[in-house]
Amino acid sequence: MPKLMLVEDDPSIREELALLLRNNRYDVVIPPSFYQVADFVKQEKPDLILLDINLPGKDGFQMCTEIRSFSSVPIVFVTSRATDMDELSSITLGGDDFITKPYNSSILLARIAALLKRAYPDSFADHGLTYRGLDLNVAAGTVSYQGRSVELTKNELKILHYLFLHHGLIVSRADIIEYLWDNEMFVDDNTLSVNVTRIRRKLETIGMGDLISTKRGQGYMI
């Protein structure tokens, strides 16, 4: 399980992000003090760091510079500071990605997964998602349950991935379509219905036909 270190001073954002990451099979560690982040990195040896810029004491840029003096761990800046200079500084100082708040959870998770895959190709390439015993392998484009597996098309994979990321919540059709468009997969309302029907049929073949429920007038939910 990849270990992610979260350096964020806003308690509500920190708790929300930590929950999102843990729900997606990441081990999350949080430094007890913003004044000893580098020492905590040496102690915990995280696989990736999510780092805010506006922090008490040293800012994120200073922390990044300090960490880079002894580690090449991937660093993702997640911040409300969205100027071109902020992004340029993050890259110049050794950051690997720059994401502004409010962030899209699915895009954030996708970028984390891509960075881990690139930094540790032999360790986390097959990192996926699990819900109710159903395993979604994003890298392989498959979904498995109790030893049975089925392949998904690119659109089917993206739709099911989005539902996995929001399990327990009603996801509107408009949100799914917008998510697909953000990933350069252009579908209309009718095409979405066709894809969801196909996903359900494939899930039936592996014994999980009841996974996706339709909430009339609202959207879908798993």
pTM of the model: 0.61
pLDDT (0 to 100) of residue 186: 79
59-89 pLDDT, tens digit per residue, is 999 999 999 999 999 999 999 988 899 999 9
pLDDT (0 to 100) of residue 124: 59
Q: What is the mean pLDDT of residues 110-124?
A: 81
Residue of 1 and 80 predicted with greater confidence: 80
Q: What is the mean pLDDT of residues 12-37?
A: 90
Confidence of residue 103 (pLDDT cuts 50, 70, 90): confident
170-186 pLDDT, tens digit per residue, is 999 998 998 888 666 77
Q: What is the mean pLDDT of residues 140-153?
A: 91
- Cβ–Cβ contacts within 10 Å for residue 50, how many? 25
